[in-house]
Amino acid sequence: MKIICIGRNYVEHIKELNSDRPDEPIVFLKPDTSILLDKNPFFIPDFSNDVHHEVEVIIKINRLGKHIDEKFAHKYYDEIGLGIDFTARDVQRELKEKGLPWEKSKAFDGASVVSRTFIKKDKLGDFNNIDFQLFKNGKLQQDGNTRLMIWKIDELISYVSKYFTLKIGDLIFTGTPAGVSKVVENDELKGVLAGEELFSIRVK
Ligand code: ZN
pTM of the model: 0.97
Q: Determine the distance separating the centroid of ligand 1 and the alpha carbon of 154, expressed in angstroms.
A: 18
114-153: pLDDT as tens digits: 999 999 988 988 889 999 999 999 999 999 999 999 999 9
Determine the Cα–Cα distance for residues 123 and 194; give it in Å rounded to an integer.
10
21-76: pLDDT as tens digits: 899 999 999 999 999 999 999 999 999 999 999 999 999 999 999 999 999 999 99
Q: Determine the distance separating the centroid of ligand 1 and the alpha carbon of 63, expressed in angstroms.
A: 24
Q: Determine the distance separating the centroid of ligand 1 and the alpha carbon of 116, expressed in angstroms.
A: 19
Does 92 score more than 90 pLDDT? yes
Q: Determine the distance separating the centroid of ligand 1 and the alpha carbon of 64, expressed in angstroms.
A: 24
Task: Find the helix or strand (DSSP H, E) in which 122 lies.
Answer: helix 121-124
Q: Determine the distance separating the centroid of ligand 1 and the alpha carbon of 86, expressed in angstroms.
A: 7
Q: Determine the distance separating the centroid of ligand 1 and the alpha carbon of 37, expressed in angstroms.
A: 17
Q: What is the CATH number of domain 3-38+50-202?
A: 3.90.850.10
